[in-house]
Amino acid sequence: MLTLLAIGVIGYLLGSIPFGLLLTRLAGYGDIRQIGSGNIGATNVLRTGSKGTAALTLLLDLAKGWTAVVIGEAWGEDAALVAAGCVIIGHMFPVWLGFRGGKAVATALGVLLALAWPVALGAVLAWLLTALVLHYSSLAALVAAVVGAVLAPVVADGATAVVIAGIALLIILRHHANIRRLMAGTESRISLTKG
């Protein structure tokens, strides 16, 4: 139990590192929470106009999800699953930012790559297809979360599938404002082709 608690704390602390906020400040863009949607994730970082900073944010957020699970795996499957859940919670509710973090889409992808890479592949394909056709990052994330939850029981064991479904549910809940804007037709679109 103490091991699981320690792994949970490590996962949470890894997840709570706000790479989007740190990188945009280092790049001279100020506080990312004052730009666009106010989110600390890669999609909002892209609104600074810096694709490089956005790409690095995505990679680092993904890496912390993957790293947390890999650290947990050294202590067994249960520890890996605890780390998976806690790194997501850390990203969404970081203590350093008053528990107001991101939506953990990239971090969840890192978790999926470590737990069940076929699920990660399916989620990425779903995200890309939705984003390319409809140009809504939020909708793409929601579709990817649902696809991941549906695929998980097919390719992963029961406990892993439950954790993946829980992560998908958290991502959907964190997109509540986006869902309202999508329904109202006021959600911002993204461009994947503009220079």
Whether the predicted pLDDT of 191 surpasses 80: no
Query: Is the per-residue pLDDT at 8 higher than 80?
Result: yes
Segment 40-86, tens digit of pLDDT = 999 889 888 889 999 999 999 999 999 999 999 999 999 999 999 99
Amino acid at 50: S
Does the pLDDT at position 39 exceed 80?
A: yes
CA–CA separation, 171 and 145 (whole Å): 7
In terms of Cα–Cα distance, which of 107, 104, 148, 105 is closest to 125? 148
Q: Give the whole-angstrom CA distance, residue 15 versus residue 96.
A: 11
Residue 45: name the closest of 117, 105, 122, 129 by CA.
105
pTM of the predicted structure, to 2 decimals = 0.94
